[in-house]
Amino acid sequence: MTTYGIDIATGSAVQIDFGDVIQSVDHLIYPPANLPYVAPGFIDLQVNGFFGVDYCSPTTPHDEIARSIQVIHATGVTRFFPTVITGTPEDMLGAIRNLAHAKANLAEGPAMEAIHVEGPHISPEDGARGAHPRHCVRPPDINEYRRWQEASDGNIRMVTLAPEWPDAPRYIETLVRDGVVVAIGHTRAAGEQIKTAVRAGATMSTHLGNGADSMLPRHPNYIWDQMAEDRLMASFIVDGIHIPKSFLTVALRAKGVERSVLVTDAVMPTGCSPGRYKLGEVDVELHSDDRVTVAGDTRLAGSSLRMDRGVGNLMRVAKLSLIEAVTMATRNPARAGRIGGRLRALSPGERGDIVVFRHDPAQNTIAVEQTYVGGKLVFTRK
């Protein structure tokens, strides 16, 4: 395959020849006018569902998963972590097994880079627990983790947990030895518990500023402690709903763009009409203002954010440059999620995951024109 565009990292007009991997990136001496931008494909480390499809259900049909991935590609995402939230042991194991089978058998399967398990080892307390069902919260269990890995054919790559559980440090050490990314989230941990988790190998904060109590002590508190910990990268849901502009601005200053990751935390109703849907066993409602809440409640339950819109939101809300916003959707999640072949931007030898898009500087929005996964065209705007 060959594509042309303005390299987002260098600002140069380039011709890219690629298949499974990028073969060459050549600068154009006489570039055509009005070239689009070209960047590594977007990566989303937290997708619970999309376009009416729930990844947390053990019975979701594979053809529905395939349909949802096709729509995800239209947002510029080339690789993502389908995410399974807190549920019963049987339902979580079934959902993990179902996703692994879909990854292995669907033509769209390669986009499912690995699986993120968010819970069930989180805080059982209201606020920090978020929309996760209380009765399914349980302590870290290495044997349960082993069952997840067996059911997933070794595809568990990220686990989010609360580090205040007594056995959390040993659990974290075990997962990290297996090459799993351990993230802190849905927690009420004290500062020393967060430090202990980081010493054990935790490297990420999941949707920092969310999955948290509505009222916290001025200081210390678990949000400040995570922002101050330079060894933790942090993901953010930048939908204009989950976190306000002031918090996002301060958090990005604390972490630095280089340690910040854009995620959608998208759930089943993303891309659908307002109404009631499912997130695992939890009934959720998509409202006309794009909020997703627990049905009949005000608690947020994931988001309806698309990655392309998240990139635009970073520019408009956080005043990031285009390259900074795209970096939070490409190289940073590749580092955070330990995704090989995606760390050196558009360079020979890297994966042939490419997104071609237009940027409207007046509105600070982007419009995806083409998406390639491993050298295959998976979306083109008609």
Q: What is the DSSP letter of 303?
A: B
Please give, one letter per residue, the 3-state secondary structure of 146-215.
HHHHHHCCCCEEEEEECCCCCCHHHHHHHHHHCCCEEEECCCCCCHHHHHHHHHHCCCEECCCCCCCCCC
CA-to-CA distance for 74 and 373, rounded, in angstroms? 12
* Token representation of residue 127: 């606020």
pLDDT for 352 equals 98
pLDDT for 70 equals 98
Length of the chain: 382
* Residue 45: how many other CB atoms lie within 10 Å: 29
Q: Would you say 114 and 81 are in contact if contact means Cβ atoms under 8 Å apart?
A: yes
CA-to-CA distance for 338 and 156, rounded, in angstroms? 12
* Sole residue written with tokens 């066993």: 281
Q: How many angstroms separate the Cα of 329 from the Cα of each of 39, 79, 111, 314, 342? A: 10, 11, 15, 10, 12
Q: In the chain, which residues have pLDDT < 50?
A: none
pLDDT for 197 equals 98
pLDDT for 382 equals 87
Task: Give SS3 for 44.
Answer: strand
Please give, one letter per residue, the 3-state secondary structure of 215-270.
CCCCCCCHHHHHHHCCCCEEEEECCCCCCCHHHHHHHHHHHCHHHEEEECCECCCC
- The CATH number of 41-339, from 3.50.50.60, 3.20.20.140, 2.60.120.40, 3.30.70.600, is 3.20.20.140
pLDDT for 152 equals 98
Q: How many angstroms separate the Cα of 352 from the Cα of each of 1, 78, 228, 313? A: 9, 10, 36, 26
pLDDT for 83 equals 98
pTM recorded for the entire structure: 0.98
CA-to-CA distance for 278 and 41, rounded, in angstroms? 28
Q: Which one-letter amino acid corresponds to residue 292?
A: V
Q: Would you say 169 and 201 are in contact if contact means Cβ atoms under 8 Å apart?
A: no
* Sole residue written with tokens 């998963």: 65
Smallest CA-to-CA distance from 304 within 113, 41, 75, 65 is with 75
pLDDT for 90 equals 98
pLDDT for 147 equals 98
